[in-house]
Amino acid sequence: MQVNATVPDNDSATAWMAEGNCRNYPPAVFFPSDGVGVDRARKICNQDCPVAETCLEYALEHRIEHGVWGGCSERERRRILKRRKIDVSVG
Ligand code: SF4
């Protein structure tokens, strides 16, 4: 049986990606090499991306180190993970 590759796989854990603001930009925009690039990507995420929360949680859960996800840079995600670790051990 042939599968039509243009039909989104709604059962996929990453189906939400098709809804993101970033779908209209080259992927390289979200893997910037400097702070200016990070700001640019962040702005796109923060323009009411409808899946920003899911995107951020996906990156955190999968420990994705590179790129801007859910409006957060690599450094910001590291900070969130660290904070959560502390919260869990304290709580
Ligand atoms: S939050 Fe940013 S990286 Fe994530 S889906 Fe939206 S636009 Fe794309």
| Contact (CB, 8 A) for 68 and 36 | no
Domain regions of the chain by residue span: 16-90
Q: How far apart are CA 52 and CA 55, in angstroms?
A: 5
The length of the chain, given as a count of residues: 91
Intra-chain end-to-end CA distance of the chain, in Å: 52
| Contact (CB, 8 A) for 77 and 69 | yes
Give the Å distance between the CA of 54 and the centre of ligand 1: 9
The β-bridge partners of 72 are: 69
The reply to whether ligand 1 has any atom less than 6 angstroms from the CB of 72 is no
pLDDT tens sequence across 34-77 = 999 999 999 999 999 999 999 999 999 999 999 999 999 999 99
Closest CA to 45 of 79, 20, 14: 20
Give the Å distance between the CA of 1 and the centre of ligand 1: 33
- Of 21, 24, 39, 47, the one to substitute when testing ligand 1's pocket (max ligand atoms within 8 A of C-beta) is 21
The pTM (predicted TM-score) of the whole model is 0.85
